[in-house]
A and B are shown apart, each in its own frame.
Chain A
Amino acid sequence: MHVMEGFLPWEWALFWTLAAAPFVAYGFLIIRRILREDPNQRTMLALSGAFIFVMSSFKLPSVTGSSSHPTGTGFSTMFFGVGVTSVMSLIVLIFQALLLAHGGFTTMGANVFSMGVAGPFVAYLAFKTMTKAGVRTPIKVFITVFLAGMVTYITTAVQLALAYGPFADSLLSFLAVFAVTQIPLGIVEGILFTIFVDYLERARPDLTEKAFPRRVKDEA
């Protein structure tokens, strides 16, 4: 979902950097607090980052011909919310920009915003809403993870369309390239995380209960 190095006019590069910065700063504060206060959460933090590393290295050909990769941000979003996820995304994006020429530093702000802020933000809202509505865990996890990835790609398409008008026409062209190739990958990612969270909930309920409180309703 990366916007390539140098491919955003500098005004937009600056705009997205400013838009992403507060979330990253907030995320750093939360991570610092977690590391100080709660060793159990530390494990989950490491897992969240690890999943983003693994998932975003999965470059797979998708049905439409180009290859693409999932974002892996859904897990972190469910357990820690948007701020922490934006920090994790920043770390992976720096790794990829530095070592892989994938994404870049001028487009870092835009990429952190789509992967670490916009996707997780929508996914987190959906997650909370589904929790309130009592949606069962597997379905909830699948939808949250799927949304985190899809919204990331849609955001990238919007970012490019804003920079390269006319907006409506180019949005469609960019969506066709990004979002559609992303659907099968979103499903794959959704299934994998659904299985993992299910495993985790039974093996280590102490780690999951903050995001998935145990209720009588869920037991049935």
Chain B
Amino acid sequence: MRRSHYYALGLLAVAVILVSAILLNPNSDFTGSDDGGGEVIGEVEPEYQPWFQNVWEPSGELQTLFFTLQAAIGALIIGYFLGSNKVQKERREG
């Protein structure tokens, strides 16, 4: 197998895992295992009260925006690196 085939196979596996995760949980509300942790605390020690609240909690929409922003910052840096790599390679060869 060529290298690109391995890559394709790997990405296919990633896609399968992600899609099946979504398909298996049609009702997932994306609340996160963090909240799951809080629920377990509620079961183990029902009288526990958090002693500090988040300084500021954004609304759902804003939260999505900031999550996207976070990914975008990272993706921008990675994309810049890949692009500059390609340009350098073309300069060397051409």
Which A residues have a C-beta under 8 Å from some C-beta of B? 1-7, 9-10, 43, 46-47, 49-63, 65-69, 92, 95-106, 156, 160, 164, 169-170, 173-174, 177-178, 181-182, 184, 187-188, 191-192, 194-195, 198, 203-204
Partner of B66, one of A3, A100, A181: A100
A10 to B37 Cα, complex, angstroms: 18
0/1 interface trace, chain B 50-66, chain A, CB 8 Å (1 if under): 11111111100001001
Of chain A, the residue at the smallest CB distance from B50 is A6
Contact assessment for B50 and A5 in the assembled complex, using a CB-CB cutoff below 8 Å: yes
Contact assessment for B37 and A174 in the assembled complex, using a CB-CB cutoff below 8 Å: yes
Interface of B is mostly: helix
Q: A56-B70, A66-B31, A192-B14 are in contact. Are A101 and B56 (CB under 8 A)?
A: yes
Which B residues have a C-beta under 8 Å from some C-beta of A? 3, 7, 10-11, 13-14, 17-18, 20-22, 24-25, 28, 30-41, 43-45, 48, 50-58, 63, 66-71, 73-78, 81, 85, 89
Contact assessment for A6 and B52 in the assembled complex, using a CB-CB cutoff below 8 Å: yes
Contact assessment for A47 and B78 in the assembled complex, using a CB-CB cutoff below 8 Å: yes
Q: What number of residue pairs across chains A and B have CB atoms under 8 A from each other? A: 173
User: What 8 new A-B contacts, CB under 8 Å, besides A177-B40, A195-B11, A204-B85?
Assistant: A5-B50, A50-B81, A54-B71, A57-B70, A57-B74, A63-B25, A66-B31, A164-B48
Report the minimal beta-carbon distance from B44 to chain A, rounded to whole angstroms: 5
Report the minimal beta-carbon distance from A194 to chain B, rounded to whole angstroms: 7
Partner of A50, one of B10, B33, B36, B78: B78
User: Which residues in A have their C-beta under 8 angstroms from that of B57?
Assistant: 101
Q: A56-B70, A68-B33, A178-B33 are in contact. Are A184 and B38 (CB under 8 A)?
A: no
Q: A51-B78, A177-B33 are in contact. Are A101 and B22 (CB under 8 A)?
A: no
